[in-house]
Amino acid sequence: MILIALTKRALLTPDIKPSDQILLLEKMGELTDVRFTQAVIAAVAPASDTECEIVKEARSLDAPGNKDMASYKVLSSPRVFSGLAALNPSLLAAIRLMEHFEHKAPSVAEPQEHHALPVIARPRQPDEEPDWVKQAKRGRPA
């Protein structure tokens, strides 16, 4: 979700070349799957200046060439993600939309590595939100 918000922010850059816009749009399109649909991508608003600063600080934790991505662990932690969601409520709206598609997805679909969402330990009812989403709305870490 955060990657989509940052990409949409980059697309709003005044001097961006049309070829770069096309490349970014194609990359976003490549992220789609059964749950992470075009509708989910469309639901995410561009990142704000503050969100960009938070992501920049988190990325400073990544070692060059490190695939473990320390920044991913920080940004997807309930405390940090809830702060980002407070700044950009469209992140939660997109998650709700993903959960809607999750209930309609075939049971054989496996989560993709690029999703910045925690794994859900137990099945939820269609209208039930995960605990970390409820806590994010309240502004408290899990």
For 34, phi and psi rounded to 5 degrees?
Answer: -60, -40
CA 41 to chain centre: 9
Cα within 13 Å of Cα(113), Cβ side: 3
Buried b (16+ CB within 10 A) or exposed e, 94-104: bbebbbbbbee
The tens digit of pLDDT for each residue in 98-113 reads 887 666 555 444 444 4
| The pLDDT of residue 52 | 95
| The pLDDT of residue 79 | 93
The tens digit of pLDDT for each residue in 8-53 reads 999 999 999 999 999 999 998 888 887 788 889 999 999 999 999 9
pTM of the model: 0.66
- Give the pLDDT band (50/70/90) at residue 131: low
Domains of the chain by residue range: 2-138
Q: What is the rounded CA–CA span in Å between residue 28 and residue 13? A: 16
Buried b (16+ CB within 10 A) or exposed e, 52-70: eebbeebeeeeeeeeeeee
| The pLDDT of residue 5 | 94
The tens digit of pLDDT for each residue in 72-127 reads 899 999 999 999 999 999 999 999 988 876 665 554 444 444 444 443 334 445 55
| The pLDDT of residue 109 | 47
